[in-house]
Amino acid sequence: MGDVVRQYGAALEKGHQAAIAGHPAQALAHYEAAARLADTRPLPHVCIGGVLLRIGRTQDAIAAYDRALLRAPEDPSALSGKAAALVAAGRNEDAADLAVRLRQAERVGAQQRLDAADIAIIREAERSGSQSRPEVLHIAAELAWLAGRHETALDLWLESARGFAEIQQLDAALDSCQRALVASPGAPRVHLELSRLYLRQGWADKAAERLALLGRLLELEPDPELSTALHSLARLHSAEDARLAALAGD
């Protein structure tokens, strides 16, 4: 059993690396291998759905999220991923119905925040001086995700991304943010953070596309704070792209 667990973890990690590097075919192959090694787990199917959605294979992505939900009907990542795929397919009413289930699942998941073990891992790694705080946060996110504490993992990946951005390690910041996106493609806060990073890189066109998607997600699941952040970010960079000016809401 130990060998299977190690092979499963290795297949997932290779899938994450390939997805971040922009090699979807390789990522799918590794995630499919992980799914074969652990057929009862939803995570490989969530990851498969995320890659398929990113490359425009929307119907296949929906099918992958459905496989994940068969294994874990209230998994927040599977629910949010399928909602995003339904939005991309133009099935807004179905996505809205799914958003109700997602809110219920997230109320349960809201209790899964940083616990004493997470804090101990972060502090010990920082004391050792072997890794920077953003690197430690990224590792802690992986551990939280594997432990099933998905909301905590997203918090940590996004904090890691912001930490890397502060020290001008933008590639590493994008890696942390992309990892969060693969894990939960329908999470609005991930899209917002990724948009900020795109704009820091000067990629206004990519940011406009990402913020437009965020706007559609927020129509399904309103969040005044995120909506305000979206409009403020678009307004700040409105001169860089006409779509950003439109999203600013002026």
Query: What DSSP string runs through 185-237?
Result: TT-HHHHHHHHHHHHHTT-HHHHHHHHHHHHHHHHHS--HHHHHHHHHHHHHT
Query: Which of the 8 DSSP states describes residue 238?
Result: G
Residues 6 or more apart from 38 whose CB is under 8 A from it?
A: 4, 8, 44
Quote the pLDDT of residue 112: 46
Residues 6 or more apart from 8 whose CB is under 8 A from it?
A: 34, 37, 38, 41
Quote the pLDDT of residue 64: 95
- The 10s digit of each residue's pLDDT in 44-60 is 898 899 889 889 999 99
Q: Indicate if the pLDDT at residue 180 is higher than 70.
A: yes
Q: Indicate if the pLDDT at residue 32 is higher than 80.
A: yes
Q: Indicate if the pLDDT at residue 66 is higher than 90.
A: yes
Asked if 32 and 44 touch (Cβ cutoff 8 Å), the reply is: yes
Look at domain 124-247 and name its CATH class. mainly alpha
- The 10s digit of each residue's pLDDT in 70-79 is 988 877 778 8
Q: What is the pTM of this model?
A: 0.56
Quote the pLDDT of residue 126: 57
Quote the pLDDT of residue 247: 84
User: What is the arithmetic mean of pLDDT over 166-195?
Assistant: 88
- The 10s digit of each residue's pLDDT in 101-151 is 776 665 544 444 455 555 555 665 556 555 677 888 888 887 777 777 788
> What would the CATH number be for the domain defined by 2-109?
1.25.40.10
Task: Tell me the pLDDT band of 94, cut-offs 50, 70 and 90.
Answer: confident
Quote the pLDDT of residue 131: 63
Give Cα separations from 59 to 55, 68, 244 (angstroms).
11, 14, 29
- The 10s digit of each residue's pLDDT in 190-241 is 999 999 999 998 899 889 988 998 888 888 777 778 888 888 888 888 888 8
Give the start-to-end residue ranges of the domains of the chain: 2-109, 124-247
